Chain A
Amino acid sequence: MRTRTPALLLSLVATLALAGCGGSDASSGGGGSDQETGTLTVLAAASLTETFTTLAKDFEDRHPGVQVKLAFDSSATLAEQVTQGAPADVLATADERTMQTVVDAHGTAGDARLFATNHLQMVVPRDNPAGLKKFSDLERPGVKYVVCVDSAPCGKLAATVLEATGITAKPVSEEVDVKAVLGKVELGEADAGLVYATDAVAGGDKVRPIDIPTSNENLNSYPIAALADARKPALARDWVALVTGPTGRRVLADAGFGKP
């Protein structure tokens, strides 16, 4: 069912590889502060792919015998999966609205905590085929740009930003999540895409960022929560502590996330 860009496929493979390297001897035990071992399942917004993959490595180093299984998707899809009873321990979304649907369904253990903010940036392919220089160039005829579908947080934010800046040109496609948008730009199929600033960083030299006016007034806040049905509640709390603690702050800041 899921649609993935090659970039995300690669990062998923990398994640799996990392998870595989982690706790191969599951019975070592006694290393961490709690006795839980096994697999911790973390569902996270697609925009957290790089940071959470890094943090998972760190977490596994601190918790021998623990493997972190990461699943990245649109926050809306993940929230939906959690309310439908998908087995997972932690959920991190890219906006408070999607997290709220899970809180309302009593899916979280306690309140969600905000741990980062993000803003939108426009990205163009490295060779910039349409020759876009500023955000308002989206209005030029024939420019093909893509956004997230409006049920995803990045799509909601894109709609807000487009409205705030008075851009009336329509996108050619609403992609399922922010990595799919980035993928279409990296491949050069789209002339531009609206992604999170962190994804513009993650895109490396395959894309070039262009700032969006008003984007620092329009921010998404990222909440994280341990889930009510977590099979590893103690590890879930530890993961939330890692993400909201100094290590998490540093990794997130390095990737371009703002403070909550």
Chain B
Amino acid sequence: MTARGPALGRAPARLLVPACVGVAFLGLPLLALLARTPWSDFLTRLTEPAILDALRLSMVTSLAAVAVVTAVGIPLAWALARVEFPGRTVVRAFVIVPLVLPPVVGGVALLSAFGRRGLLGAPLYDAFGVSLPFTTPAVVVAHAFVSLPFFVLSVEGALRATDREYDVVAATLGASRWTTFRRVSLPLAGPGLLAGLVLAWARALGEFGATITFAGNYPGTTRTMPNAIYVELQNDQQAALVLSVILMLVSVAVLALLRERWFDQAVHGPVRA
């Protein structure tokens, strides 16, 4: 896929120099973070119950959010990519808005909808006594709210990029639309799907504003890693650094695991048969 050949000539400095600035801009803060981390007592801090609690909670809630996002995100992306229906642009706008919404605003919006006094939350509370804020499920809701758009856009893009002819051929061979979706469209969109999963998960793992606004902040139930980092930043800088590095290492490790050919394909575009 990379173009090699003598005809193109040397890469111009006016492109290479800003590119290097970009790399340094992204890399330097990460290296600085590693340089300031108290490595000598890293392991002892790593096993502190407070840190383990936050890490466990972050893992559980971000993965649960990814499950929710997958369950509703794939059908939504498929509908946007394959079904002609009136108001599709409006639906897509609804999907994109949370992407550009400041997370804190997302948190306030979630409170307005699912809070104890919220549009949907109030009847729910009156009927069943169920109240979402300050609970772990509220963290999952906040995570899913901010990460769903990433997933849907990624999968929709992948579905659109694969040739529609395959769907048509499957239909002429007698496949129902459900079978076509399951056996043809979805596998072809695989790399984009995986990229969407990774994006959604990473977004959920790092989510702070909507979580602390909607779900609150209490150790064990709602204090995720980013919340813990925020709290420790005011308390104990060293602990905040350790937490930050852990979160960074976890993210990088997952990226590295998935990097293999699937993710590369997702970045470079879908495979042509």
Q: Residues of A at under 8 Å CB distance from B?
A: 1-6, 74, 76-77, 80, 129, 144, 146, 149-152, 170-176, 184, 187-190
Contact = CB atoms under 8 A, between A and B. Distances in A.
B115 A152 contact: no
Given A3-B209, A189-B133, 9 more contacts: A3-B107, A74-B234, A149-B217, A151-B234, A170-B218, A174-B216, A175-B216, A188-B115, A189-B116
Interface of B: 104, 107-108, 111, 115-117, 131, 133-134, 208-209, 212-213, 215-218, 221-223, 230-231, 233-235
Given A172-B218, A173-B222, A187 B134 contact: no
B230 A176 contact: yes
A250 B221 CA distance: 43
Contacts of B134: 144, 146, 172-173, 189-190
A146 B218 CA distance: 10
A187 B221 CA distance: 21
Contacts of A187: 111, 115, 117
A146 B117 contact: no
A198 to B, nearest CB: 22
Contacts of A5: 213
Contacts of A77: 233-234
11 contacts: A1-B208, A1-B230, A2-B104, A3-B208, A3-B212, A146-B134, A174-B218, A174-B223, A176-B217, A187-B111, A187-B115
A252 B222 CA distance: 36
Nearest to B231: A149
Given A1-B208, A189-B133, A151 B235 contact: yes
A249 B180 CA distance: 75
Given A3-B209, A189-B115, A146 B216 contact: yes
A69 B107 CA distance: 27
Contact of A173 (B208, B209, B218, B233): B218
A150 B218 CA distance: 11
In order of increasing CB-CB distance, the 3 nearest A-B pairs are: A173-B216, A76-B234, A172-B134
A3 B104 contact: yes
Contact of A3 (B213, B222, B234): B213
B126 to A, nearest CB: 11
* Listed residue (B104, B215, B217) with the most chain A CB atoms within 10 angstroms of its CB: B217
Given A3-B213, A176-B212, A151 B231 contact: yes
B116 A152 contact: no
A163 to B, nearest CB: 18
Contacts of A80: 233-234
Contacts of A4: 104
Contact of A188 (B117, B216, B221, B230): B117
B74 to A, nearest CB: 32
B138 to A, nearest CB: 10
Nearest to A83: B237
Contacts of B133: 184, 189
Contacts of A3: 104, 107, 208-209, 212-213
